[in-house]
Copies of this chain bind each other. A is one copy, B any other.
């Protein structure tokens, strides 16, 4: 199991002793998913929070079994799960799929609870993770309500150039909240 990236990710916010590191690592498991495979399916339990070692994942909401709304993409060094489902033991609202062959490190809710008890520093770590996630989502919300579709595309492509390379237009459109046809017409106009 390649644990260097996840330990580096943790070390951004808290410092662990080597005993703590070992205990933390003992709670993890590694899992690989093939392109197009589902990591999580709506209405399921979601036992794990996932740290992405390699690959690309996408979380989306499916309304009326037709319209997809992409909630987030995750690439190397991101954490992803259906947080409400995971933390509050609710049935999943989201689907999470692998957009390419991907390897993740999984931490179960039970093990996270243990971790909070054994090493309270992790409360701090996830406090910071959630704080950043909250700020990010709030900003996205403001952008969605105050910018035009074209401006939202610009913001997205400037903010996440690495993601832009990995995902197709249909998926970007569903992240921006527009149809693929309309994104296509925006892009062809703005080339001129």
Cα-based distance from A84 to B85 in the complex (angstroms): 26
Number of this chain's copies in the assembly equals 2
A137 at the interface (CB under 8 A from B): yes
A130 at the interface (CB under 8 A from B): yes
Which of these, B83, B127, B131, B146, contacts A69 with CB under 8 Å?
A: B146
Known: A145-B144, A146-B69. A135 touches B61 (CB 8 A): no
Bin chain A's interface residue count.
20 to 34
Which of these, B69, B88, B124, contacts A120 with CB under 8 Å?
A: B124
Enumerate chain B residues within 8 angstroms of A126, measured Cβ to Cβ: 127, 131
Contact residues, A78-132 vs B (CB, 8 A):
83-84, 87-88, 93, 116, 120, 123-124, 126-127, 130-131
Contact residues, A133-156 vs B (CB, 8 A):
133-135, 137-142, 144-146
A121 → chain B, closest Cβ, in Å?
8
Which of these, B71, B87, B124, contacts A142 with CB under 8 Å?
A: B71
Whether the pair A69, B142 counts as a contact (CB closer than 8 A) is yes
